[in-house]
Every structure is written in C-alpha cells, then in structure tokens.
Structure 1
Amino acid sequence: MPTYLYAVTAGDHPARLTDVTGVGDPAAPVRVLSAGPLKAVVGDAPDGLRAKRRDLLAHQRVLDRLMEDGAVLPMRFGLIGPDDERVRAVVEDNAAAYTERLGELGDCREYNLKVSRDEDDLLREIIATVPEARRLNDVTRGDPGAHRERRALGEIVAREVQSRQDLTAQDMIARLAPNAVRQALAEPTGEHFLNVSFLVARDQVAAFSEAVHQEAADRGDAYTLSLNGPLPPYSFV
C-alpha cells in the first residue's frame, strides 16, 4: 500500500501521536517507522488524495503535535512513497543530510510576515518628494491631452514605487533579523510588497513578536503587517 509521509524526526523524538489521526476519509492512523538514526512519521495514503481543507488540517495537526516535542523536518502535503520499506530506505540513505538539517533547525519555529502599504499614501509621498513627478502631476491634472507627460509620470511612479518598497523591505528585515536565527525571502503575493519567513528559536518568540509589533507601530497606519505562526519550518528545510 502507498505510504504518506508527514515528517522526519530524530530517533529520540517521542513522537506522541496516539490521539492524532492523519489524512483520508476515514482518517488514517499515524505511525512511526524507524529509519536508522531517524524516524519517519507516516500513514496509509488514501486513494485520490486532494488538497481538501479536512486533509490539509489533518496534515498540519500531525506536524503541530510533533513540533511540541522537538525538531521536525516537515514534508509538504501530498508526499507519497510506494510503501513503508521504500520510504524507510530513502530516509536511511539521506540520514546524514537530514540529521544535519534537524540540528540546524533545533528548537525553532517559522513565522511568516507579509507587509503591504496603502497605495495612496505611497503615491502622495512620491509626488511630494520627487520634483519631476510633482511637475508632471500638475501638468497632467490640468491638461487631459498631455499623454506624453502622463506616460512619463507613470514611469517615474513605477520606478519610485519599486525602489521605495525594496528599501523598506530591506530595512524591516534588518530590524527584525536580530531576533531570528535565519530568514528566507519569498515572492510577494497580491498587494504585499514583502513576504518573508523567519526561523525563530522558542526562547526568542516573545522578543520577535514584540519587535514585529514595534515595527508596525513605528511604520504607522499606512502599513499593514500580517504575522502568521508558529509554522512548521518549510522555508528552511
């Protein structure tokens, strides 16, 4: 039977999973495979698995429980091997790399931060601080036929928006990084100009959270900071 893989842990991880069920309908039991110095946390893979909310949450619950007791290498939803023995063999073959990564993660959690800024506020700042943008804005407001000037204004605004967002993102990461072990940038999504994950040690979580709240207060109402976590450290595996 195909085997669904949730995570890899160290061999001494307690893996307290007796009251946790996995993906599938009905939900499949979760079990542990010894794989050399490591453990593979697995279950039977259901037929026709889809990324439904029920199964996504089940996958997350298994990882959350494991993270309560130590470092975890989380596997993304939907990873399936041919059977237990093949999964065990792959984990054993990669034991050195997995063990090294578990040591790097230690007792850490991932926190994801997304940041957006009110567009009108940013545009007002550009018009107020870039003389050529201010001049072109005055021209286009008074002349509907000023197509060349409107195009030039659009180019200046686009360039300034990108430049200012990049500088702000770099500054925010630099201010938050001292409270984290590592950070990993991801592609911005939607209206967010910054999408970054931080690997935070358990004993630094309070300090990191406070730093994010202070950053939000310092930036003001034009900025929206959305912090999500603790999460399995997918961005650092």
Structure 2
Amino acid sequence: MAVYVYSIVAGTHPLDLSGLAGVGADPAALRTVDGGRLTAVVSDAPPGLRAKRRDLAAHQAVQERLMAGGTVLPLRFGLTAPDDDAVRAALTENAEQYAARLSELDGCAEFHLKATEDEESLLRRILAESPEARRLNDEIRGGRAAPDAPVVLGELVSQEVRARQEALAAGITQALRPHARDERSSPPSGDVFLSISFLVARDAEDAFLTAEKGLAAELGDSVDLRLHGPLPAYSFV
C-alpha cells in the first residue's frame, strides 16, 4: 500500500507522536520506518489527497512535534512512496546526503518574511521626488498633455516602483543577513515585493527578531513586514 511520508529524522531522534493525526479524511495512524541511521515518519496514504486546510495542518503538526525533539528534514506536502520498503531503501541509499543535511540544519529554524508597501504612499513619493513624473501628472490633470502622456506616465511610474522596491528588498535582506546562516528568496508576486526565508540558528533568534523589529520601526507604516517563524526548514531541505 502507498505510504505518505512526512519527514526524516536521525535514528536517535525522540519520536513522540502521541495525539497526532495523519492526513486524510479518515487518517491512518502515524508510524515510523527504520532505515538504520535515519528514520522516516509515515502513514498509509489516503486516496485522492488534496491540499485541504485540515491536511496541511496535520502535516505541519507532525513537523512541529518533531522539531521540539531536535532537527528534522520536513518533506513537502503530498509526498508518497509505493510502500515501506521503498521508503527504507531511499533512507539507506541517500543516508549520507540526508545525514549531512540534518547536520547543516542542526539547531536552526526557518523564518519567512514577506514585505508589501502601501501603494498610495509610494505613488505620492514618486510624484514628489520625480520631476518628470510630476510634470506629466500636472499636464494630464491640467488638460495640456499629449495623447500618449498617460501611457508614458504609467510606464515611468512602473519603472520607479520596480527600482525602489528592488532597492528596498535588497536593503531589508542585507540588514537581516548577518543574523542568518542561509537564505532562500522567491520571485515577487502581486503586491509582495519581497518573499524570503532565512535559516536562523536558535542562539541567534533573539538578535534576528530584534533586527527585524528595528527594521520595521525604521521603515514605518508604509511598509508591512510579515514574519512567520520559527518554522520547520522546508526551504532548506
């Protein structure tokens, strides 16, 4: 029977899974597959599994419980294997790679940061600080603009927004980088101009959080920093 794989831990890792439910509408019991140096936490895979909130929460709860006992390699939601033997073979064949990654993540957690900026405030600053944008805007409002002025202004503002947010994203990253061991960024999407995960050592968490709070205060209300963590290190597995 197919098995759902939640995570990989060292063979010596505490494995208290009591009170946890697996994924699926009728979740099977959690169990472990012993691969010698490494252990995988699994359950029978439910048919037709989809990323419902209930199942995402169940997957996350397993990671958080294991995190409390030490380092974990959290696997992405939905990962399955044909059976326990296939899981055991993967643990054995990739033991060196998995063990090395566990060592690299030891004592660390992930913090994920998303940054957005108030659009109206940003546009006001661009019009105030860009003579060309201000001139075009005044001509349009006064009825003196060329027919293509709105398009030209739109392109100019778009370029200014991109340049300013790229610079701001770089500044935020540089301010937090000294307090992290590693980082992984994702492309901007929608109104989020910065989406980045930091791998932070437990003994550096206070410094990291203090730096983030200071940065938020310095940037003011026009920039919204949303920090989530500590989390399992999904981005660094």
2:178 — aligned with what? 178
AA matched with 2:47? D
Q: Aligned residues, how many?
A: 237
- How many angstroms apart in 2 are the aligned matches of 1:47 and 1:148? 57
Q: CA deviation at 1:220?
A: 0.6
Give me the whole-angstrom Cα distance separating, in 2, the residues matched to 1:147 and 1:184.
44
Query: Could you tell which deviates more after superposition, 161-170 or 187-196?
Result: 187-196
Q: Does 2:34 correspond to 1:6?
A: no
Give 2:112's aligned residue.
112
Q: How does 1:44-123 map to 2 (within 5 A)?
A: 44-123=44-123
The one-letter amino acid paired with 2:140 is T
Contact 2:136 2:145 in 1 (8 A): no
- Give secondary structure in 1 for the equivalent of 2:148: helix
Deviation of the 1:145 alpha carbon: 5.8
CA contact (8 A) 2:139 2:145 kept: no
Structure 1 residue matching 2:8: 3-state secondary structure? strand
Q: Deviations over 1:7-61 (max 9, x none)?
A: 0111211122133221123322111111131111111111221212211111111
Return the TM-score normalized by structure 2.
Answer: 0.95
| 1:146, distance to aligned residue in structure 2 (A) | 3.0
Distance across 1 between alignment mates of 2:90 and 2:16: 23
- 2:110 match: secondary structure: strand
Quote how far apart the aligned CAs of 1:144 are.
7.0
The Cα of 1:79 is off from its aligned counterpart by 0.7
After superposition, what is the alpha-carbon deviation per residue over 1:151-205, rounded to whole angstroms, capped at 9, x for unaligned? 2211111111100000000000000111111111012233111111111111222
Question: Distance between the aligned counterparts of 2:99 and 2:11, measured in 1?
Answer: 10
User: Secondary structure of the residue that 1:140 maps to in structure 2?
Assistant: helix
Instruction: Out of 179-188 and 158-167, give the one that drifted further.
Output: 179-188
C-alpha distance in 2, partners of 1:28/1:214? 45
Alignment of 1:35-46 (within 5 A): 35-46=35-46
1:78: Cα distance to partner? Answer: 0.9
The one-letter code matched in structure 1 to 2:25 is: D
Unaligned runs of 5+ in 1: none
- State the secondary structure of the residue aligned to 1:27: coil
Higher alpha-carbon deviation: 89-98 or 166-175? 89-98
Code of the aligned partner of 1:100 = A
User: Which runs of structure 1 show a deviation greater than 4 angstroms over 4 or more consecutive aligned residues?
Assistant: none
Normalising by the residue count of structure 1, what TM-score does the alignment of the two structures yield? 0.95
Aligned-residue Cα RMSD (Å) equals: 1.4
1:232 is matched with 232
- The 1-side partners of 2:206 and 2:147 are apart by 53
Q: Equivalent residue for 1:33?
A: 33
